[in-house]
Chains A and B, each alone.
Chain A
Amino acid sequence: MNIYGDWGNVLVLKRRLEWHGYTVNLLEYNQGDKFPDNVDLVIGGGGQDSGQDNIQTDLLSISTKLHDLANDDVPMLMICGLYQLFGKFFKASDGHTIEGIGLLDIETHAGPERLIGNITTKSSEFGEIIGYENHSGLTFLGQGVQPLGHVIKGAGNNGQDDTEGARYRNVVASYLHGSLLPKNPHLADFLVEKAIIKKYGEFIPTVIDDRFADLAREAALKRPR
């Protein structure tokens, strides 16, 4: 699913790994494909609500695989639609329920309006996270997950409890587009580091010039909701 520019997350991870000196094998997984072996990083994006219905069955068929990877501390980034489907369920506005893989202790209910606009959150792990949200699903966190961050400006998971996204082991899940990783290189570095250390035992990063990201963050913070 790639409707809201989440390719940016894939590109950022790929490029940063390359800049650190690694060769990246980018594998696309689509419905019906054989799930690849030797997976170091898993990334999932957002899509239209209709897309979610389409991939549901297939996602459930690889659920065990995904649970195994997550519990083995493989880093993952799940945005919007896949964030929701990594949870227990998504209840649509017409009442029908889309079952998720239950990897994250969350549930999502279709809300009456779209939560759209620039959003800033604060995370104890990653500092300020800056992006753009666009979702009608309202997500509520259970005991088994932590929020990714707390909302400073914007709506977040449900516009009610100030949480945004979810964290579980090395899984990072969020509603943020923008895309998320380009303006939040600390988050990208977290995922990169976890992947490299798991595979090679140590990580000696190259210094990446993130000044454009810093300046883009500054400009984004000044923009209205």
Chain B
Amino acid sequence: MSKPYVTLLGKAVRYITRLRGGGSALPGLFVEKIDPDFIKRTLSTLPQGVVVISGTNGKTTTTKMVVELLESQGLKVFTNRTGSNFTRGVAAALLGEVDNKGVIDADIAILELDEAHAVSFVKNVPPRYSLLLNVMRDQLDRFGEIDATAKMLAIIAKSTTETVVLNREDPRVAAIAGVLTYQKINYFGLSPKLAHLFPNDDEMRGKSAQTGKRQTLQAGVVLESLKEGVASFTMDGHSVSTALKLQGIYNVYNAAAALALAGVIVGETMDKEKLVAALAEITPAFGRGETVVIGGQPLELVLVKNPSGFRLSLSSFKPEGYATMIAINDNYADGRDMSWLWDVEFDSLKEAGVAEVTGMRAYDMALRLQYDEVLISHVEPDLTEALRHFITSNADSPKRIFCTYTSMLALRRELSKMTEVEVIS
């Protein structure tokens, strides 16, 4: 079957499945079966090569940030925008951009990849640069152990041909430098004053923090402070400060990662002014802190995938003045073992209480809240009913929903059916 024919077929499949509403990779599967070499061949046409971003938390948001920072420098960027970070999702995204001859109009590809899928991807397509964000307890029912996840990230690093950017403050990620033989290494890091906001999984009720040792590594970008929405970074010795639209300390630390990677890619020709201007405008990615307006009140969706992510979300977004809903599913993409809820503290929700608890495992969540003595107004496992009830019972209040991945997809579908919803970010 000749190549242009494959591209057209794939595009037709993509068009038909576009209605599914996010996270679709069926067209990619289709191309994968007919033309397995498609990804490698298409990406090899890019002058500045391929960049892979991986890790437990923050992939989608950081990828989006890197894309916007690079675009501010005039680069044409291809990315797997819809957050479908399995190999199939990359193929699907490529189909959407490729012309009928199989060429993409881009300078560079920035790809967010799930850790397990990245391993086979990089063997097929070695990236020029990679950014490894963190290793956390997440979906252990898929990966089995944190060390196994760290090993996957090490494989990505070893397959990288030029520079690897590592999180200095995550011991397992920083340790990857030790297995690299020829690649350049760059770090992003935190000021010691902020380190206490990011406990890693060992520190959570276990060994005490070991930040002192890591601080001696020189980091290309360091997040120095975040006060009232203004972030300060040290970037290659220079101080960079800007107000941000991004909220939450973990998002701002992801921005440090994005700055480090952008710096490595663009190098000396970096236009700092345009970079900072772009940084100031960045908003969270799909499903990671979107806000809609419904009935004149903002409703925020906050994705929670693992204990550290949930903890950071709770400390980043103060509950006062908001009606809070929590939606917990246990599908494959959400994590099937409910143990993870017990590694999150919910005391911060005691004063305001929780208005609504929903999802397939609503009662596991309610049970969790009971043991932290947090009062709950309503529990309803059915997401559609719970959402309606949450909105009507809290009509005069700004609202926030903490949700796992598939519950977020379901909630977004429900919200899009409500004609009175306006998406603002």
Contacts and interface: CB of A to CB of B under 8 A. Distances in A.
A219 B381 contact: yes
Contact of B144 (A8, A114, A117): A114
B97 interface: no
A215 B339 contact: no
Contact of A179 (B201, B205, B339): B339
A178 B367 CA distance: 12
Contacts of A216: 361, 363-364, 366-367
Contact of B371 (A6, A12, A118, A223): A12
Contact of A2 (B145, B206, B330): B206
B335 to A, nearest CB: 10
Which has the most chain A C-beta neighbours within 10 Å: B307, B338, B361, B381? Answer: B338
Dominant secondary structure at the B interface = helix
B367 A212 contact: yes
Interface in A159-174: none
Interface in B361-415: 361-364, 366-368, 370-371, 379, 381
Contact of A7 (B145, B207, B343): B343
B140 interface: yes
Contact of A182 (B147, B342, B381): B342
Interface in B233-283: none
B8 interface: no
A198 interface: no
Given A2-B206, A132-B337, A219-B364, A7 B342 contact: yes
B367 A183 contact: yes
| Interface size range on B against A | 20 to 34
A134 interface: yes
A3 B201 CA distance: 8
Given A5-B340, A7-B205, A178-B339, A219 B363 contact: yes
A4 B381 contact: no
Nearest to A133: B337
Interface residues of A, number: 37
Contacts of B307: 5
A50 interface: yes
B140 A212 contact: no
B146 interface: yes
A1 B343 CA distance: 13
A30 B360 CA distance: 36
Interface in B127-168: 137, 140-141, 144-147
B336 interface: yes
Interface in A23-48: 28, 30, 48
A43 to B, nearest CB: 12
B204 interface: yes
Nearest to A225: B336
Interface in B283-322: 307
Given A114-B144, A116-B141, A183-B364, A132 B338 contact: yes
B360 A223 contact: yes
B13 interface: no
Given A2-B206, A4-B140, A220-B364, A178 B338 contact: yes
A179 B342 contact: yes
A223 B364 CA distance: 13
B339 A219 contact: no
Contacts of B363: 212, 215-216, 218-219
B299 to A, nearest CB: 26
B147 A134 contact: no
A62 interface: no
Interface string B177-208: 00000000000000000000000010011110
Contacts of A118: 336
Interface string A1-24: 111111110011001000000000
Contacts of B338: 5, 132, 178-179, 220
A213 interface: yes
Nearest to B144: A114
B174 interface: no
Interface of B: 137, 140-141, 144-147, 201, 204-207, 307, 330, 336-343, 360-364, 366-368, 370-371, 379, 381
Given A7-B342, A11-B342, 14 more contacts: A3-B140, A3-B201, A6-B339, A6-B342, A8-B341, A8-B342, A12-B371, A30-B207, A50-B145, A116-B144, A118-B336, A132-B338, A213-B367, A220-B338
